[in-house]
Amino acid sequence: MNTRPVSNLNPANAVTASRFLTLPPFVWAVDQGNVQLATLMLIVCGLLDLVDGAVAKLLRCQTPFGEVFDAIADGVCYGFFLVILLAYGLAPWPPVALVVVMGAANTAMRAAYSKRAGRTTNYRSFAMERLVAYSAYLTGFALARIEVSYFYWTFAGLMALVLLHDGKRMLLDPIEDAGPATTSTGTTPGGPDLGGREVAA
């Protein structure tokens, strides 16, 4: 088994970082009323989110930092899209404000969870992961002017419920044992293949 150390400066993290390059063109496109280009940047950002996990597995460069960095990139990119839409009057401010505040709270609780665990780890929440993916659709709904208020308020309500559930588990419930030591690729020997950028917690 290859036990070489894996640097955080690796191809998978480079792909993750490249998602930030979609943000300036998105702003320009929204400012110019170019819905097609704005939508393209949204799609590219989402596709890169899929590619980084595949690259990490293919090149065996999974790291705990990469897992956390991937989650941070999700929050920054999709949160940025929502704020820009709000600034240009394409999205209602009350639900967007709630989503941004809850996103900040989620980040703080994940940091607290990592501190409690005593290691770099990203709390796994399948419900929140689905909501983050759905936030990309929120951007698309706003660009296409499709029932914007309905979808945004629905999203805010669902996010509040998931945040309450996850908050209890992150801040109050006992933390599961780290289990066997992870390898340099971020996988647990003999453990299940978790897919994507995920590593053993």
pLDDT tens figures, 130-179: 998 899 999 999 999 999 999 999 999 999 999 999 999 999 999 876 54
pLDDT beyond 90 at 198: no
Going by the DSSP 8-state scheme, the letter that residue 139 receives in this structure is H
- How far CA 86 is from CA of 1, 16, 53, 191, 196, in Å, comes to 50, 25, 30, 44, 31
pLDDT beyond 80 at 187: no
Among 2-11, 54-63, 186-195, which stretch is predicted with the lowest mean pLDDT?
Answer: 186-195
d(CA 155, CA 89): 18
Structure confidence at residue 188 (pLDDT): 40
Structure confidence at residue 176 (pLDDT): 73
Q: What is the pLDDT of residues 38-92, one digit of tens each?
A: 999 999 999 999 999 999 999 999 998 998 899 899 999 999 999 999 999 999 9
